[in-house]
A and B are shown apart, each in its own frame.
Chain A
Amino acid sequence: LAKTTQPISMDSYEGQEVNITCSHNNIATNDYITWYQQFPSQGPRFIIQGYKTKVTNEVASLFIPADRKSSTLSLPRVSLSDTAVYYCLVGDMSGDDMRFGAGTRLTVKP
């Protein structure tokens, strides 16, 4: 099973770029990497998904090195509303490996 490791918490300031790294040393060939954002008392919200290299959408970028043993979620110019818990998931499309870790609690300060 592909296990993920993330920092428990991070602090940042408004307007800064935030990079959250997820370690997944035993990622399998068929595994994808997915990131979610969760606010208190709400369900998580999908941010981005990738397999290798770099993926970018309107809210974030995902960087995956060639060995795929880690990935980095990059949030450009964060605001107070980006304060949330961010989860990294690794798994294949079979669904047999659906696991949310403890996540990273990001606090954005003014």
Chain B
Amino acid sequence: DGGITQSPKYLFRKEGQNVTLSCEQNLNHDAMYWYRQDPGQGLRLIYYSQIVNDFQKGDIAEGYSVSREKKESFPLTVTSAQKNPTAFYLCASSPRTFYEQYFGPGTRLTVT
């Protein structure tokens, strides 16, 4: 069953801790993306990757880091430097950049 998975669905962390969000796809897509969505707002691009071992910053990359060591995996680390990390995080993939994107179910991160 092909698709894109994110885990966990809900995540709670204390302020000052780094946390890594998982994103895996078995669609053989080249491009992967991370977005952040705050309540009532649109999606904002954090990072994207067009090929393995390469990624680019989006509009709000500060306080986040990513890696792309495998084609199917694109984990996102929310570091303690991110001032307002509580949000809904969405991962997506597409055959190539800007083609139809397939989104995962999202991870809702709460930092207190």
Contact = CB atoms under 8 A, between A and B. Distances in A.
Interface of A: 32, 34, 36, 41-46, 49, 87, 91-96, 98-103
Given A41-B106, A103-B42, A98 B90 contact: no
A91 B98 contact: yes
Contacts, number: 59
A99 B45 contact: yes
B103 A44 contact: yes
B43 interface: yes
B41 A102 contact: yes
Which of A34, A36, A49, A98 has the most chain B CB atoms inside 10 A of its CB?
A98
Which of B48, B92, B100, B108 has the most chain A CB atoms inside 10 A of its CB?
B100
By secondary structure, the A interface counts as loop
Interface residues of B, number: 28
B96 A100 contact: no
Contacts of A87: 42-43
17 contacts: A34-B100, A41-B88, A42-B103, A44-B101, A44-B103, A46-B102, A87-B42, A93-B98, A94-B97, A95-B97, A98-B33, A98-B48, A98-B58, A98-B97, A100-B42, A100-B44, A101-B42
